[in-house]
Amino acid sequence: MAVCTCPPRVFTSSQPGPRPRLAGRIDATAPFHGLSSLILRFPPNFVRQLSTKARRNCSNIGVAQIVAASWSNNNSNSGIPAAPSATAVDAAATAAIPVDPAKLSAGGDEAVFENDVQLEALPDLKEASFLSSDGSLAIHAGERLGRGIVTDAITTPVVNTSAYFFKKTGDLIDFKEKRATSFEYGRYGNPTTVVVEEKISALEGAESTMILASGMCASTVMLMALVPAGGHIVTTTDCYRKTRIFIETILPKMGITATIIDPADVKALESALNEHKVSLFFTESPTNPFLRCVDIKLVSELCHKKGALVCIDGTFATPLNQKALALGADLVVHSATKYIGGHNDVLAGCISGSLKLVSEIRTLHHILGGALNPNAAYLIIRGMKTLHLRVQQQNSTASRMAKILEAHPKVAHVYYPGLPSHPEHQLAKRQMTGFGGVVSFEIDGDLMTTIKFVDALRIPYIAPSFGGCESIVDQPAIMSYWDLSQSERITYGIKDNLVRFSFGVEDFEDLKADIMQALETI
C-alpha cells in the first residue's frame, strides 16, 4: 500500500448554482521542492470543478488528484499564500464533510492510496447535485457535474492517445512511488472513458464503475477476479448462452465449479450455500431470453450471511428500470452495447459496485486488456443523453404489445415480467420501475411457421442484440442455438417457435401494424 504525502483536505465535487469556467494554467515559475512535492498551481476554483469520483474511480485518473495534492502541499509547505476563496472552499468542505481519522495513517499527514488511485482520507461522497432524476443524471453526470478534462466544449472530447507523457523524470518517479497519480498507458485509463464510468456510477448509485470492451469481457473478467481457484459459484438456468459456456467449459479449467438453479428456486440457493463454500452468486435479472426475475434483496441477504458476493447482470433491466445495488447486490454488470449505448453502433461492457471490489477486478483487467476505445466511449456518452427517453418509449411499447400478443390466437405463450401471467410479475413490480423493451413469445406453430412470421416482418431487423433504437427480432433456436440438435435445445427450454422481439423507438402503431400483418401470414 503506497502513500501520498499531502494533508487530508476534502473538496466537494459539485456545488449548487452556476459553475465558473475553468482557467487553470501550470505555473512554470513555481519553486521546486524535491520529488515529494509537486509544482502545479491552479486557481482555487479549479478543484471545485473536478468530480470527486473522477479523482477516485479510474485506476490512474489524471491530473485531478495531482492538482488537489499540489494545492494542499504548496499552500501548507511552500510559503505560497492561499487565496481567500481557496480557504473558504476548503473550510466549507471540511466542515461539511468530516474526515475519518481511522482512515489516516499514524503520522496524520499521509493519505492512503489503494490500487494506485483511492485517497482513503476522502470519505465516500454522494455528489451534491441540483439534479433529482435519472434522466438528468444520464445527461450531465461526469460532465456538467464535473469532469477531469479542461474544456469549454459542451460535449466531451475524444482523447485519442495510447500513452501519456511525463514532463520530467521526477514526475515519473513520483507517480511510480505513489506520491502522485496520472494517466500512464491507454489500457489503464482514458479521460473520455472516465466520463462514461462517472455517468453509469451516478445512475447505479455506485462508488466505482469500470468500462470494458464488451459485456462478455465484463462478466468473464469479474468471475476470474473474484472467484478463487477451486472456488464455487451459483448461477441460474436461464442466461445468455456465451456466459453459460464460459461457466461450464472455461471455469472448470481453474478448478471452479458451479451449481445451476432455477431463478426462483430459493431453496436450491440455500442448499448450495450450505453444501459449498460459495464465492459468488451470479445471475441475470431479468434473464435471457425468458425474462425471469430474481429476488435480489432476498438472495443478497442469504448470500451475505454465508460470505458470498452477489453480482447481477442488469442488461435487460437497464440502470433506469432497476437498481440492483440498492436492493443489496454487491456488483451489477451490463452489456453497454444494448440499452446504455442504445444505437446498435458500439460494443462495451461495464461493472459497477464498491471501490474495493471494482479495484480488484480492474487490476486483472489491466493485465488481460480488453480496454474500451475512447471513440467507442464517446458514442456511449452520446447515447446515454437519450437513455431515459428511449427506455420510456421501449417500456411503453413492449408492455402494450405484450398484452396484445398474449390475447392473439396465433401466439401460444408470452414471456414478459409486466404481464400478470409471468411467474415473477409481483416480484418485478416490487423491484423494477419499468419492465424493459424486450418481449419473448412462442408462435402457435413449428420452426417453419415461425420463420415465415419472422420473415414477414418489415420493421425489425433479423439480428442478434437488443436495446437499440431500431427494433430487432430473432429466433433463438436459429440465432443462438442452431449448432445444437432440437432435443439439446429443448434442455435449455429453447423451442423452435420461440421469438425474441426487442422493441426500438419506432412509433407504436407502426410496430403493432407490422406484427399484426406478419401474424396474418401464418
3-state DSSP call for residue 148? coil
| Those residues with Cβ within 8 angstroms of residue 40's Cβ, 6 or more apart along the chain or in another chain | 26, 27, 30, 63, 66, 67, 70, 71
Name 232's bridge partners. 257, 278
A 10 A CB-CB count for 493 gives: 12
The cell numbers describing 226, all together, are: 473474484
**If 0-12 CB within 10 Å is exposed, 13-18 middle and 19+ buried, where does residue 264 land?**
middle
Q: Is 240 noted as a catalytic residue in this protein?
A: yes
Length of the chain: 522
Q: Is 512 noted as a catalytic residue in this protein?
A: no
Which entry of 41, 188, 238, 240 is annotated as an active-site residue? 240
CA torsion sign for 452, 457, 462, 467 is negative
Q: Is 41 noted as a catalytic residue in this protein?
A: no
366, 476 Cβ separation under 8 angstroms: no
Q: Identify the helix (H) or strand (E) that includes residue 293.
A: none
151 residue type, one letter: T
Strands 472-474 and 461-462, by their bridges, are parallel
Question: What's 259's DSSP letter?
Answer: E
Instruction: Report the C-alpha gap between 487 and 489 in whole angstroms.
Output: 5
The cell numbers describing 361, all together, are: 477486478
Which entry of 19, 178, 187, 429 is annotated as an active-site residue? 187
Give me the DSSP letters along 2-35.
-EE--------S--SSPPPPP-----TTSPP--T
The angle at the Cα of 110, spanning 112 to 97, to the nearest 5 degrees, equals 75
Instruction: Report the C-alpha gap between 172 and 67 in whole angstroms.
Output: 16
The angle at the Cα of 33, spanning 27 to 39, to the nearest 5 degrees, equals 25
Which among 121, 124, 131, 155 is positioned nearest to 4, based on CA atoms? 121
Please report how many Cα atoms fall inside a 13 Å half-sphere around the Cα of residue 3, on the Cβ side.
14
Which entry of 41, 48, 338, 362 is annotated as an active-site residue? 338
CA 96 to each of CA 14, 15, 93, 121, 363: distance values in angstroms, whole numbers, following the listed order: 13, 12, 5, 15, 33
Which among 240, 505, 320, 314 is positioned nearest to 398, based on CA atoms? 505
| Those residues with Cβ within 8 angstroms of residue 508's Cβ, 6 or more apart along the chain or in another chain | 396, 397, 400, 401
Q: Is 306 noted as a catalytic residue in this protein?
A: no
192, 157 Cβ separation under 8 angstroms: yes
User: Which residues are designated catalytic?
Assistant: 187, 240, 313, 338
